[in-house]
Amino acid sequence: MSAFRSLSAADLAGRTALVRVDFNVPMEAGRVTDDTRLRAALPTIELLTRKGAKVALLAHFDRPKGRRVPEMSLKPVLSDLSALVGKPVAWADDCIGETAAQTIRDMPAGGVALMENLRFHSGEEANDAGFAADLAKLGDLYVNDAFSAAHRAHASTEGLARLLPAYPGLSMERELNALDAALGHPERPVMGIVGGSKVSTKLDLLKNLVTKLDKLAIGGGMANTFLHAQGHGVGASYCEKDLADTARDIIRLAGENNCKLFLPLDIVVAEQMALNAPSRVRGLGEVDEHERILDAGPETVARLQRAMANSRTLIWNGPLGVFEIPPFDRGTMEAARGAAELVRAGKLVAVAGGGDTVSAMNAAGVADDLSFMSTAGGAFLEWMEGKALPGVEALRI
């Protein structure tokens, strides 16, 4: 983290910190249904307030597209946030201007305020210089604790960081350290598992990973495209047959970069994708035309577990099958539990991320056992693709 300022070492007493957080939380009937993202901000808030800073929290919620939409106000978050912080959090009905400034002036040292939805202003997503300057007027320093928004060059993630002394928050710092350990400066051998349904959405990811990893396993629906490209029948399975040449290019690129590619050895098929539907294990080339490939087979999972055991670092994005519907969850569950066991034994550093991946690891009961679980979604994927993230680059010294 030497490329970034250290918030822990900063002189914060009497200063106002503008802290970008991700409070785009699930809501139902005006109530927060999952406070994970609120909790993620607590260590940074606690550090700042303990050191005597005023904390002004900047966040977006939903997509109001530059208009004030009452249903997309952040105000319903306030009561849950206050309970988690352990004291009342002040509310500002705007994130810029006199309303915001007065809210901050009225706070004592160590106070916390939540500012209204940044995206009520069109200048936020446009990364408008004037809007960023209006935000900067409110504080003395800037802290980005929202890695999940770091792939967006918005006023509160990129523009504002150029105008004030800028720091990564503790959650952001932890994420950057974990990602660097997984792909920046990892212990080798490094293995990747990439699943999900579509090759088309992960082309950049696959092309980047085969140039950096020692091993890459491809699962989920996207594996069907690779099997088809190799001449194996996939029956009625989802398959992007028009990307067969692309799949063959990725196989070739992996070979040129000495990245061992793991494709399924066997698969689980069924005629229906339904709960507890009759299923069977098939070898490659044995899929009937009316059958659908819905999970990795036991031989495939066993080989993945052996490959993980012979690796030092694992990075995982995407399930191996339709994990939401038993019995097609078995491959993902067994592989995830195998990875977690290796982590617990101190034999593997395992970093996983992406929406479906988080859900799958939670379903397997191993989310807390992995070395790091990123909930960042798009930012995690773009980082895996090797792309520079504007919100991270803007923090560099």
Catalytic residue positions, numbered: 37, 198, 355, 378
Q: Which residues pair with 112 in a beta bridge?
A: 55
Q: In the chain, at which residue ranges do the beta strands (DSSP E only) sit?
A: 16-20, 27-28, 31-32, 54-58, 90-92, 112-115, 141-144, 166-168, 190-194, 215-218, 260-262, 266-270, 279-283, 292-296, 313-317, 349-353, 372-374
CB-neighbour burial class of residue 258 (10 A; exposed 0-12, middle 13-18, buried 19+): exposed
Asked if 103 and 61 touch (Cβ cutoff 8 Å), the reply is no
Adjacency order of strands within the sheet including 16-20: 90-92, 112-115, 54-58, 16-20, 141-144, 166-168
Q: Which residues pair with 217 in a beta bridge?
A: 193, 262
Rounded Cα distance, 131 and 153, in Å: 13
Taking only Cα atoms into account, the Rg of the chain, rounded to an integer number of angstroms, comes to 23
CB-neighbour burial class of residue 276 (10 A; exposed 0-12, middle 13-18, buried 19+): exposed
